[in-house]
Chains A and B, each alone.
Chain A
C-alpha cells in the first residue's frame, strides 16, 4: 500500500501480559523503524530493519522486547510481560531506500496501555 499501516490502533494489557504490535511498511520500502513515544511526548528509537535483517537495535531494551520483519508478513514488535512503564504510543516508519533526504514515512501509531 501507499501508507504505513499499524495494527491495532489501541491495545490494553494487564501488567505481566504479552503485547504484540504490527506494522506493514509501504510496499517496496526496505527499511523499517520502530519508535516509542512516552507520555511526556519524548520519542525513543527502538530498532530498525533492512528487509528482514536487524539493522540497528541499539535502542531495544534487552529484556522483554523483541521484533521481527519476515518476508511477506507485517513486521512485529512484541513485549513479553508488560510493565506500566511500557504504556506509550509505538510508531513504525519506513524508507524506500536511502535517498538524500532520509525522510521516513510514519504509520498512525499503536497506543499501548498497561494497567
Chain B
C-alpha cells in the first residue's frame, strides 16, 4: 500500500527566509507525487508534480521539490517566503492500482512579518 507522511503539522518562517515542508512516502512502485496548496476556505491548487522524469521538480510561485528515492522523500522548498504563502500544504501520492489520491495530513505554513 502507498502512503505519505508529512512530518510537521505546523511550520513558521519569517518573510524572506527559506521554506522547507517535509514529506516522506511509501510505495512499492515508482510513485507519482504531488504537492497542493489550500488557502483558507479555498480549493486545492497544484504546486508541482513528480512523475519519474527529472528528480528536481519546479513548480509555481517559486516552489520546487526534490525526489530522493534513497530517502523516500519529496520535500517542498522555496528560497524566500512571502506573506501570501501562508496556507495549508498537502503532499499526495497517487495509488497506482486505483488512481485515487492518498493525502498527507497537511502542514500549515505561517509566515511572520
Contact = CB atoms under 8 A, between A and B. Distances in A.
A associates with B? yes
Interface of A: 31, 33, 35, 41-43, 45, 48, 55-56, 58-59, 91, 93, 95, 98, 100-104, 106-109
Nearest to B101: A104
A45 B100 contact: yes
B24 interface: no
B94 A102 contact: yes
Interface of B: 32, 34, 38, 42-44, 46, 49, 51-52, 88, 90, 94, 96, 98-103, 105-106
Given A102-B32, A106-B43, A56 B98 contact: yes
The 8 closest A-B pairs by CB, nearest first: A102-B94, A43-B103, A108-B43, A102-B32, A101-B51, A56-B98, A45-B100, A106-B44
23 contacts: A33-B99, A33-B100, A33-B101, A41-B88, A45-B100, A45-B102, A48-B99, A48-B100, A56-B98, A56-B100, A59-B100, A91-B43, A93-B101, A100-B32, A100-B51, A100-B52, A101-B32, A101-B49, A102-B94, A104-B94, A106-B43, A108-B43, A109-B43
A5 to B, nearest CB: 12
A12 B44 CA distance: 22
A103 B43 CA distance: 16
A95 B99 contact: yes
A45 B100 CA distance: 7
Interface centre among B100, B102, B103, B105, by most A CB within 10 Å?
Answer: B100
A35 B52 CA distance: 26
A90 B47 CA distance: 21
Given A48-B100, A102-B94, A91 B106 contact: no
Nearest to A43: B103
B101 A42 contact: no
Interface centre among B46, B99, B105, by most A CB within 10 Å?
Answer: B99
A55 B97 CA distance: 11
A41 B105 contact: yes
A103 B34 contact: yes
